């Protein structure tokens, strides 16, 4: 087991995910965190995660997460081993962790983004065909050492990146992994219900507002919407609480692409989803982003109207 070989030589470990952590990011980071805590009591392990949805705190280890890495962490020394989870570039590393990863003695990148260059770390366990980083993590661990709590984490990650197993990234191995996790006694019904199918009252109101104001483009092939800073203030929501709106928008029948823009740090976050034809990863790259063929994102300084017009043009080229 390559991961266990690296762990057997380490006394200090840091774990990082990407900015604006989603379910797979939180699932994979807490998955390896719990694995280390359960099997390597002599290792000092630190988990670094930016703000994430409250519902994910159902997972053990989330309460231990540090929102920001500083030079004083780990007594100011480089970590023996740093994990970079569900992240395809140093620009996307969350919690100010890029420098920490670059100075660690050894590093492991576990990911499934098609945009990953495969050379970020000492060991790169990257499978673009996998459903999630959580799936890649599972197949590279010693199955006998995976606890129920670590399994809970990886299951949540798989659930969220497969859209509860309805996205095209769900494969035969994905379901075999899920079967193995269920055998660990995971709380599978509670996890999928409380973290995927439910939302807060504020999230319900703002999602309804977005759906009421969404529009169709390209002869009904695209459904798109955006929300302004003023709207966010009115509904008292943060960017974290808007991360799943795109998955509701994409439920509009007859559409191939769903597009949603919302304010983050003075720019607009672009979220893209497609069903069968359009490669949204290629579109996201035009805005300095990336991701997967059917799910990707980026950022833009354009106004929503200008950005949407440009994105619709890129979608039209692919549909043509």
CA distance 18 to 32: 15
pLDDT at 1: 63
pLDDT in tens, 148-171: 999 999 999 999 999 999 888 999
Regarding whether 218 and 93 lie in a shared domain, the answer is: no
pLDDT at 81: 98
Regarding whether 117 and 161 lie in a shared domain, the answer is: yes
pLDDT at 49: 98
Number of H helices, E strands in the chain: 12, 11
Regarding whether 215 and 191 lie in a shared domain, the answer is: no
CA distance 15 to 30: 9
User: pLDDT class for 202, splitting at 50, 70, 90?
Assistant: very high
Q: Look at residues 127, 37, 55 and name the one whose alpha carbon lies nearest to residue 86.
A: 127
pLDDT in tens, 16-48: 999 999 999 999 999 999 999 999 999 999 999
Q: Cα–Cα distances in Å, from 61 out to 52, 119, 134, 277? A: 13, 28, 15, 39
Regarding whether 87 and 58 lie in a shared domain, the answer is: yes
User: pLDDT class for 105, splitting at 50, 70, 90?
Assistant: very high
Regarding whether 273 and 225 lie in a shared domain, the answer is: yes
Q: For residue 236, how far is the Cα from the chain centroid?
A: 23
Regarding whether 190 and 69 lie in a shared domain, the answer is: yes
Mean pLDDT within 172-197: 97
The single-letter DSSP state of residue 298 is E
Q: Look at residues 139, 153, 131, 133 and name the one whose alpha carbon lies nearest to residue 37.
A: 153
Regarding whether 63 and 129 lie in a shared domain, the answer is: yes
- A 10 A CB-CB count for 72 gives 7
Q: SS3 of 226, please? A: strand
DSSP character string of 49-69: -----GGGGGSTTGGG-BS--
Regarding whether 170 and 83 lie in a shared domain, the answer is: yes
Regarding whether 21 and 148 lie in a shared domain, the answer is: yes
Domain count within the chain: 2
Query: Is 80 exceeded by the pLDDT of residue 2?
Result: yes
The CATH number of residue 289's host domain is: 3.10.310.30
Percent of the chain at pLDDT exceeding 90: 96
Regarding whether 79 and 213 lie in a shared domain, the answer is: no
pLDDT at 171: 95
User: pLDDT class for 305, splitting at 50, 70, 90?
Assistant: very high
The CATH number of residue 21's host domain is: 3.90.1640.10
- Give the count of alpha carbons within 13 A of 279, CB side only: 10
Q: Which of 132, 166, 195 is the last residue in one of the domains?
A: 195
CA distance 63 to 25: 15
CA distance 227 to 210: 7
Q: Which of 195, 226, 242 is the last residue in one of the domains?
A: 195
pLDDT at 126: 98
Percent of the chain at pLDDT exceeding 70: 100
Regarding whether 245 and 118 lie in a shared domain, the answer is: no
Mean pLDDT within 176-190: 98
What range defines the domain where residue 43 resides?
2-195
Q: Which of 169, 195, 221 is the last residue in one of the domains?
A: 195
pTM here is: 0.92
pLDDT in tens, 224-246: 999 999 999 999 999 999 988 99
What is the pLDDT of the chain when averaged over all its residues? Answer: 96
- Confirm if 238 and 250 have CB atoms less than 8 A apart: no
Regarding whether 300 and 216 lie in a shared domain, the answer is: yes
């Amino acid at each position: 087991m390559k991961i266990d070989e690296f762990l057997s030589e380490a006394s200090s470990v840091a774990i990082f995910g990407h900015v604006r952590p989603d379910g797979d990011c939180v699932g994979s980071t807490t998955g390896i965190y719990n694995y280390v805590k359960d099997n390597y009591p002599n290792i000092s392990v630190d988990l670094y995660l930016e703000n994430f949805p409250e519902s994910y705190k159902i997972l053990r280890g989330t309460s231990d997460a540090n929102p920001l890495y500083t030079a004083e962490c780990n007594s100011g020394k480089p970590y023996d081993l740093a994990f970079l989870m569900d992240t395809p570039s140093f620009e996307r590393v969350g919690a100010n962790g890029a420098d920490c990863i670059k100075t660690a003695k050894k590093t492991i990148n576990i990911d499934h983004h098609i945009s990953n260059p495969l050379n970020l770390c000492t060991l790169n366990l990257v499978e673009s065909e996998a459903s999630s980083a959580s799936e890649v993590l599972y197949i590279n661990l010693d199955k006998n050492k995976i606890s129920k709590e670590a399994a809970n984490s990886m299951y949540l990650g798989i659930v969220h990146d497969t859209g509860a197993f309805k996205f095209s990234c769900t494969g035969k191995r994905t379901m075999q992994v899920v079967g193995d996790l269920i055998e660990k006694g995971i709380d599978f019904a509670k996890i999928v219900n409380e973290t995927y199918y439910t939302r807060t009252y504020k999230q319900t109101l703002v999602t309804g507002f977005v759906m009421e104001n969404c529009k169709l483009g390209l002869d009904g092939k695209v459904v798109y919407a955006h929300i302004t800073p003023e709207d966010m203030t009115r509904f008292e929501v943060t960017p974290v609480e808007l991360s799943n709106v795109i998955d509701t928008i994409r439920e509009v029948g007859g559409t191939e692409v769903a597009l949603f823009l919302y304010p983050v740090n003075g720019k607009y976050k672009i979220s893209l989803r497609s069903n069968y034809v359009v490669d949204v990863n290629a579109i996201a790259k035009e805005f300095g982003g990336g991701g997967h063929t059917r799910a990707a994102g980026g950022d833009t300084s354009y106004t929503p109207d200008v950005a949407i017009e440009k994105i619709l043009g890129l979608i039209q080229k692919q549909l043509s």
